[in-house]
Amino acid sequence: MNQSLLPASRCLQPVSHLRKINGSVRGFATAFNWEDPLVASELYTEEELAIQDTARQYCQERLLPRVLDAYRNENYDRKILEEMGELGLLGASIEGYGCAGASTVASGLITKEVERVDSGYRSGMSVQSSLAMTAIYEFGSQELKDRLLPGLAKGKIAGCFGLTEPNHGSDPGSMETVAREHPTKKGYYSLSGTKTWITNSPISDIMVVWAKLESGGKIRGFVVERDQCPPGTLETPAIKNKTALRASITGLIQMDDCPVPKENMFPDVEGLTGPFTCLNSARLGIAFGAMGALEDCLSRARTYALERKQFKGNPLAKYQLIQKKLADAATDAAYGTLAATQVARLKDDGKSTPEMISMIKRQNCDRALANSRILQEIFGGNATSDEYHIARHAANLFVVQTYEGQSDIHTLILGRAITGVQAFV
Amino acid sequence: MNQSLLPASRCLQPVSHLRKINGSVRGFATAFNWEDPLVASELYTEEELAIQDTARQYCQERLLPRVLDAYRNENYDRKILEEMGELGLLGASIEGYGCAGASTVASGLITKEVERVDSGYRSGMSVQSSLAMTAIYEFGSQELKDRLLPGLAKGKIAGCFGLTEPNHGSDPGSMETVAREHPTKKGYYSLSGTKTWITNSPISDIMVVWAKLESGGKIRGFVVERDQCPPGTLETPAIKNKTALRASITGLIQMDDCPVPKENMFPDVEGLTGPFTCLNSARLGIAFGAMGALEDCLSRARTYALERKQFKGNPLAKYQLIQKKLADAATDAAYGTLAATQVARLKDDGKSTPEMISMIKRQNCDRALANSRILQEIFGGNATSDEYHIARHAANLFVVQTYEGQSDIHTLILGRAITGVQAFV
Amino acid sequence: MNQSLLPASRCLQPVSHLRKINGSVRGFATAFNWEDPLVASELYTEEELAIQDTARQYCQERLLPRVLDAYRNENYDRKILEEMGELGLLGASIEGYGCAGASTVASGLITKEVERVDSGYRSGMSVQSSLAMTAIYEFGSQELKDRLLPGLAKGKIAGCFGLTEPNHGSDPGSMETVAREHPTKKGYYSLSGTKTWITNSPISDIMVVWAKLESGGKIRGFVVERDQCPPGTLETPAIKNKTALRASITGLIQMDDCPVPKENMFPDVEGLTGPFTCLNSARLGIAFGAMGALEDCLSRARTYALERKQFKGNPLAKYQLIQKKLADAATDAAYGTLAATQVARLKDDGKSTPEMISMIKRQNCDRALANSRILQEIFGGNATSDEYHIARHAANLFVVQTYEGQSDIHTLILGRAITGVQAFV
Amino acid sequence: MNQSLLPASRCLQPVSHLRKINGSVRGFATAFNWEDPLVASELYTEEELAIQDTARQYCQERLLPRVLDAYRNENYDRKILEEMGELGLLGASIEGYGCAGASTVASGLITKEVERVDSGYRSGMSVQSSLAMTAIYEFGSQELKDRLLPGLAKGKIAGCFGLTEPNHGSDPGSMETVAREHPTKKGYYSLSGTKTWITNSPISDIMVVWAKLESGGKIRGFVVERDQCPPGTLETPAIKNKTALRASITGLIQMDDCPVPKENMFPDVEGLTGPFTCLNSARLGIAFGAMGALEDCLSRARTYALERKQFKGNPLAKYQLIQKKLADAATDAAYGTLAATQVARLKDDGKSTPEMISMIKRQNCDRALANSRILQEIFGGNATSDEYHIARHAANLFVVQTYEGQSDIHTLILGRAITGVQAFV
């Protein structure tokens, strides 16, 4: 060690430049691996890798065979939640209540494997895990947690999350759904209002709904239980003819003086802190998930480019313009995976901030979407056949980019964080 | 831990999801830091951070005040090499010979700090460290190492690296420089040919030159020592009126039957393995360096946007179109830094491959260049004043993108690695 | 006139710088019109504008109400061809045979109006007009023209165009479909092979099919008449579950020793001249059509941005990031319309070349696709509802970009035209 | 003509679809011409083409040989204005006063030819023609016109245009320069304030300066004549060390109680109407000029790509990634030229609006800049030699994009025009 490089006081310990990033030494990567170009796998523990393998095996063997039919017919199989529950994939980073208690990184890897098959399937899982379960786990009373989390973890209970309204998407603070003292049922609130674009609402047993208290106008969270709602007070019609995410089910939550017991209100959180906490959890998952979808696009495009021959028997993979599309996608997938991993690690260490999650949600979704579209070009007209899967990914990723904070909104969150000046209005 | 998530055999150890990424706990990042949005600093050891601080202090205090004049007048101060040598910044990752023996990550951080000031200054350092010193360290005889490395490490000897020729840039394998048995001087080769775009050649004491052996045509490496060359056999004229990198000095190496002792030929390496090994080292440094330049562009643009007021007294930072430019740049800088760090770590662990370095060299240079240009827009007409520094960075980064493998070349290297099919011709 | 500006011989006539571009003076454009920012309408004759109005009225009143259901159910209404035929929209630039004999510009404007509603509807029209009718008009015997063109013009006969094969898209010269002397039917060829992605094939009465003659291997064109084909020799199954262009019907043409009378072979054209002539006509129409789709996206996005309010009651249109999307789209639509108009005018003047058409087909499709996707972002999650139409346009435009010469192919056509060097292989 | 295509009242005249766009038939374009891919030349009159030829010959023969040295040394040759004046290139679209009285299109073509050599030379001409001369022609008293325009037209008098101030660029309405009744000189105003980034100010004989009247605060225009200003009241120091446009001379206008006769104030215009009228004229010229610079970049890159060989002796032009760069640039140059021509024609017909000019100024500058940078990549490291000219163009075009309305400002002008809502603040 050249002493002049360091002030004397800093020179006490030797430089250990062969220090491992993680404890497990898993053999030398002697060759470039296009599926993991920057060897993100080195950043994961054995346990995390094992969880990823379990999730991958399930997704490829059980979800992939169902997705074409589900997407064509807008038909979400309710049993998927139970299957995921059996494997411990739901609420995987929650401690207790029958949950896996895995790291945030492991949860992200699960998400990535599900979205490798379909963003809609991942949405169905995310709304259960990151939104409904996280809301109850973080903000619910002990009674609610004890009563609901185990069933949610097993997928026996299906949950959803009602924040967005027909007139308020990017600006949830202006929500119109209201909670007032129930005029007749003592100990109850009465909820009225409409939530829309709610993944899983038509099949949900319980709904986490955010509403403004009539007195004071503060936003509060409620757990609405379907089987406790009198007829006519709760409707959850499905939205059909969607242009994407057709393998998930989406609907409204229409509440008309819907009575909810006061103990179903989250006791200690008000304002947007509640929903934003859940959204942060979901967005981190999306940052992983989008990389799964992108990796699947890349893998399928690569295979197609090697098998499809045009002009003198050359595979498409032989052409420079094709190689550029593949190289760009591989790069963005590798970079995005590193960034998501880093933020998940920081979260587990208590060092993450919402702005970091805005950064990776925005960037990973933007790049996944852009690259999926460019990779789609490799398939030419054949991309129009849904059996090549690429058009489905590209259509889905548009929604993934736009929900849970459209990219422009995250741009402005980042802009504010960088400059200290807000530019929303 | 939910047992069903894992096969039984994998369940022996508990998940430690609070594991630290590195051993040092350095306080919670409770707030978003726009200068390190994804907290790359968590990935560095105390020693690496200390080395970065040392480099940063030198660069900001000693290099920054010189750069405007140097760039205006194409005037590279030879003393800079000695200053860097005194601090241990040259060949920092080499063990022994008076070098720092720091990690590859630490070397990358030094590079980043120098390029934060100017890509030309970083070029001058890279050619000394990654090209000349690495070549001799990896391939030179023990005698060459003992005789030259200590002086190179101190900056007492200036070195350069002659690979590119007027007609052969991206395709060095077609080089025309030739080495033949010297017709009259026994024990000597005679080198003839011209190298161009050689950073530091006009001021170099020694030159690592690659040439084809007349017999056999194999590419071999030679150390040409200026003070051993008879008059008329070696000229190194400077290239003037450059459009960028004007704070570095660039020239030709013109050899006309230049005699070189046989023991100055690298004994055990032939073909492109030699130069490509050095280039890989340099490219990894560039991947870090470009992020330094980009971070400086971002910092300067942010300051300008906060201070410059247009329309009703609003700072530019208040406008959405400005915030988008800043958010994009911050994201790319953060992602690129993580990726470079990962590859440097892999290199120290013996797990890196050249394709990884192609990926990060290409992506980090492309993104640094693109963002520097977009950030330049924030300055409007004032960008035309060199005192805002932004135009200099943008002009430099074009060259950084194009040298040591133009991005298109790295695209094709990646394309080949992904598909197994080459598309160069 | 300053005499020194011109050589003497050129100075005889005064500069008439108030010369009109076209003869009709139609009032001063005193205000900027976002729907025609560069006043392309000034370039059209009264007749052309009248034809456009007729087409627009039909499309908005008769096609638009059908499109949602058609797209959802992949249900193309065969009557549309007859309706278009009644209005003279089919083969509009053909002289005689009951066709309108309008200018190429007028045909382009028709195309634009149809695609303003849906690219699939435009595809159904293009294949009839530009491909089937143009092939017969340009290359068919007089008998074929007299017998088929009037029915095609009226939409009583439906036609299609079989060039692409499952293994040969961008490289039709390698087609495998073969025509041999019929072994048993004298005066007949026997066609065998499969064409795919053929718009209208399942409902076509006649098919223009390109095949290689067994003897000599030259590509020749044939008119296959469905009602003349013995059972088992011709099948045209529909391709279902398409990811785009679902309002058009697409299928295969499977020929198994299908007998075709020798007089149904185009007599005087061989090689790719035939199909490329037709494709050029279709591509010019596409260059107009894509601008129609883009204009509709822009119009819908603008309306949405004005009506949708987020953050303090501001319409989205008030935000800079939204305005940029609108400004970019308006610019590309205006530029693309001017360019398509110019080439159509040149074609009518006998001064167009295929490379010009490659240029405008590529650019207009690329820009329409890119902008439609960016405009889609304005709708946020609501873009997922097909009732906003934007996702349908965006999905369609991907196919429009890829068929009749994927953009990369046109890139290489242009590259060859610019450099004189081919880079296809 | 198919009658059903048109309402009866519109069917009286036959469609003349062979109508020429302009009267001159100048031979069939039987081959694709990469230098004018969409045959814009068909849109010009003989006179306009002759003027373009005259300008081109001058620029290539007289300006091109001077530009390298001028750019290196920031040395603008004052004689250029006189040479241009002799040829009638200054104020070419002005009627009378010794000006050419050519069409706006012809003026645009002159601009294009000058900028084909250098954007700085074009700036020097534009400030004389479109800003100084247009201001005096449109707003000056008859006395001012008679006295100054002939000398300006001949280049005997050099003029400039002072609008931008150190603190007010995009927002000139907030200017601080003030004009007050001169305290001692009767019949005089006294001007105080500083203008910056003023092309030609150090060599100007007269300056059009915009200032706010102390009483009332209205912006008014003044002609400041250098030889009438007492010592110490007017300074015009040059700005040195510019990062671009170095072949033009740029400076400040510093006025300290500078006396200006009241008859030198423009009598009938106040507010921003005056400067914006001139800027519109200049911007239209820039839209042409930027296409000239882009065409030169394309031509040089094409030549380089054909001559430079890498990998098995292939010219760079043989590679797909290179061809894409060329094809993109050729397309944007062709489209931009058509659009500029259209707006110039509309202007001559009294049908143009400022928003149209915003559209073409923004788009043509953006595309010229982006393509020049991409074409620069073709030159690899050799782009760093100023003798290839490409880096100079790219550096210049950044300024061209940013002055006379930075692209973001034009985006917001267009956004306002499209939506009716302003988003500046």
pLDDT > 70 fraction of chain D, expressed in percent and rounded? 93
Instruction: Give yes or no for residue A26 having a pLDDT over 80.
Output: no
Mean pLDDT over residues A23-35, rounded? Answer: 58
Cβ distance of D314 and B425 shorter than 8 Å: yes
> Does A199 score more than 60 pLDDT?
yes
Question: Of B257, B272, B287, which residue is a domain's last?
Answer: B272
| Residue C130, domain extent | 40-158
Q: Which residue of B has its CA nearest to D317?
A: B425
For residue D91, the chain C residue with the least C-alpha distance is: C2
- Render pLDDT for C216-273 as a digit per residue (tens, 0 to 9): 999 999 999 999 999 999 999 999 999 999 999 999 999 999 999 999 999 999 999 9
Residues A282 and A264 in one domain: no
At residue A14, does pLDDT exceed 50?
Answer: no
Asked if residue C114 is part of any domain, the answer here is: yes
For the cut 50, the answer to whether the pLDDT of residue A52 exceeds it is: yes
Which one-letter DSSP state was computed for residue A44? S
Is residue C34, in this structure, part of any structural domain at all? Answer: no
Identify the CA nearest to D294 among candidates D360, D358, D375, D363: D375
pLDDT of residue D319: 97
Start-to-end Cα distance in chain D: 54
Q: Which token pair is A112?
A: 């990535």
With CB atoms and an 8 Å threshold, state whether B319 touches C319: no
C18 band by pLDDT with thresholds 50, 70 and 90 = very low
Query: Would residue B117 count as lying in a domain?
Result: yes
Three-class DSSP category at A34: coil
Reported as a single tens digit per residue, the pLDDT across C378-399 is 999 999 999 999 999 999 999 9
d(CA A157, CA A147): 11
ipTM above 0.90, yes or no: yes
All residues of chain D having their beta carbon less than 8 Å from the beta carbon of residue B167 are 309
Same domain, C254 and C311: no
Kindly state whether residues B171 and B285 are assigned to the same domain. Answer: no
The domain boundary, picked from A272, A307, A342, lies at A272
> What pLDDT, on the 0 to 100 scale, is given for residue A70?
98
pLDDT tens track for B233-278: 999 999 999 999 999 999 999 999 999 999 999 999 999 999 999 9
B226 and B280 share a domain?
no
DSSP structural state of residue C311: S
The per-residue pLDDT for range B79-88, each reduced to its tens digit, is 999 999 999 9
Does B187 fall in a domain? yes
Task: State the average pLDDT over residues B110-136.
Answer: 98
Distance CA(A360)–CA(D172), nearest Å, equals 39
Distance from CA of C7 to the nearest CA of A (A): 48
Mean pLDDT of D255-273: 97
In this prediction, residue D239 carries a pLDDT of 97
Three state DSSP letters for chain D? CCHHHCCHHHCCCCCCCCCCCCCCCCCCCCCCCCCCCCCHHHHCCHHHHHHHHHHHHHHHHHHHHHHHHHHHHCCCCCHHHHHHHHHCCCCCCCCCCCCCCCCHHHHHHHHHHHHHHCHHHHHHHHHHHHHHHHHHHHHCCHHHHHHHHHHHHHCCCCEEEECCECCECCCHHHCCCEEEECCCCCCEEEEEEEEEEEECHHHCCEEEEEEEECCCCCEEEEEEEHHHCCCCCEECCECCCECCCCCCCEEEEEEEEEEEEHHHECCCCCCCHHHHHHHHHHHHHHHHHHHHHHHHHHHHHHHHHHHCECCCCCEHHHCHHHHHHHHHHHHHHHHHHHHHHHHHHHHHCCCCCHHHHHHHHHHHHHHHHHHHHHHHHHCHHHHHEHHHCHHHHHHHHHHHHHCCCCHHHHHHHHHHHHHCCCCCC
Residue A21 above 90 pLDDT?
Answer: no
**Residue C37 clears pLDDT 80, i.e. is over it:** yes
Q: How confident is the model at residue C312 (pLDDT cuts 50, 70, 90)?
A: confident
Using DSSP bridges, classify how beta strands B250-261 and B234-235 pair: parallel, antiparallel or unpaired.
Answer: antiparallel
C146 and C164 in a common domain:
no
The answer, yes or no, to whether residue B197 has pLDDT greater than 80, is: yes
Looking at beta carbons, which residues of chain B come within 8 Å of C324? 321
Contact criterion met (CB < 8 Å) for B311 and D386 = no
The reported pLDDT for the residue numbered B30 is 59
Q: Average pLDDT, stretch B150-175?
A: 96
Q: What pLDDT shows up at residue B110? A: 98
Q: Is C322 found in the same domain as C373? A: yes
Residue C35 annotated as catalytic: no
Q: What b-and-e string marks burial along B342-367, b requiring 16 or more CB atoms within 10 Å of the CB?
A: bbbbbbbbebbbbbbbbbbbbbbbbb
CATH of the domain at B390: 1.20.140.10
CATH of the domain at C108: 1.10.540.10
- Classify residue B1: in a domain, yes or no: no
Nearest to C348 among D18, D360, D417 (CB): D18
- D217-226 per-position pLDDT tens digit: 999 999 999 9
Three-state SS for B204?
coil
Annotated catalytic residue, options B48, B165, B295, B404: B404
CATH number for position C191: 2.40.110.10
pLDDT band of residue B312 (cuts 50, 70, 90) is confident
pLDDT recorded at residue B31? 87
In order, the DSSP letters of C263-287 are GGB-SS--TTHHHHHHHHHHHHHHH
- Which residues of chain C make contact with A310, given a CB cutoff of 8 A? 168-171, 174
Chain B residues with at least one Cβ partner in C under 8 Å: 319-321, 324
- What is the per-residue pLDDT across C129-185, written as a single tens digit (0 to 9) for each? 999 999 999 999 999 999 999 999 999 999 999 999 999 998 999 999 999 999 999
Of B272, B304, B324, the residue at which a domain comes to its end is: B272
In the predicted model, what is the mean pLDDT of residues A339-343? 98
| Any domain includes D32 | no
What pLDDT does A30 receive?
60
Domain count, chain D: 3
> Which of C19, C43, C100 is the closest to D45 by Cβ?
C19
Whether A154 and A201 share a structural domain = no
pLDDT: which is higher, D15 or C211: C211
- The answer to the question of residue B23 being in a domain is no
Q: Kindly report, residue by residue over C399-413, the tens digit of the pLDDT.
A: 999 998 999 999 999
Q: Could you tell me which chain A residue has the CA closest to the CA of D324? A: A321
d(CA D52, CA A381): 45
pLDDT at B35 over 70: yes
Specify the pLDDT at position D7.
39
Mean of the pLDDT values across residues A300-310? 97
In percent, the amount of chain C with pLDDT more than 70 equals 93
pLDDT at position B350 is 94
* Interchain contact, B421 vs A315, CB within 8 Å: yes
Mean predicted lDDT score pLDDT of chain A: 93
Residue D195, pLDDT score: 98
Give the Cα separation of D279 and D129 in Å (integer): 11
Residues A91 and A144 placed together within one structural domain of the fold: yes
Question: D364 with D410, same domain?
Answer: yes
Chain D positions in Cβ-Cβ contact with residue A319 (cut-off 8 Å)? 320
What is the predicted pLDDT for the residue at A336? Answer: 98
Residues B293 and B392 in one domain: yes
B383 to chain D: which residues are within 8 Å by CB? 243, 398-399, 402
Average pLDDT, chain B: 93
Predicted confidence at residue D30, as pLDDT, reads: 59
Interface with chain D: mutation pick from B71, B408, B409, B412, highest number of D CBs within 10 Å: B408
| Rounded Cα distance, A229 and D317, in Å | 71
Interface of D with A (CB under 8 A): 319-321, 324
Q: Which residues in chain B have their CB less than 8 angstroms from residue C321's CB?
A: 320-321, 324
Q: Is the pLDDT of residue C27 over 80?
A: no
How confident is the model over A132-136, as a mean pLDDT? 98
Based on the fold, state whether residues D105 and D202 are members of the same structural domain.
Answer: no
User: Would the CB atoms of B419 and A305 count as touching at under 8 Å?
Assistant: yes
What mean pLDDT comes out for the span D26-39?
Answer: 76
Distance from first CA to last CA of chain A, Å, rounded? 54
Same domain, C287 and C321: yes
Q: Which 3 state secondary structure label does DSSP give C7?
A: coil
Question: With 80 as the cut, is the pLDDT of residue C372 above it?
Answer: yes
Residue B27 pLDDT > 50: no
State whether B381 and D391 contact (CB < 8 Å).
Answer: no
pLDDT in tens, D93-105: 999 999 999 999 9
Which of B34, B86, B87 is closest, CB to CB, to A417?
B34
Q: Global pTM?
A: 0.93
Does residue C29 form part of some domain?
no
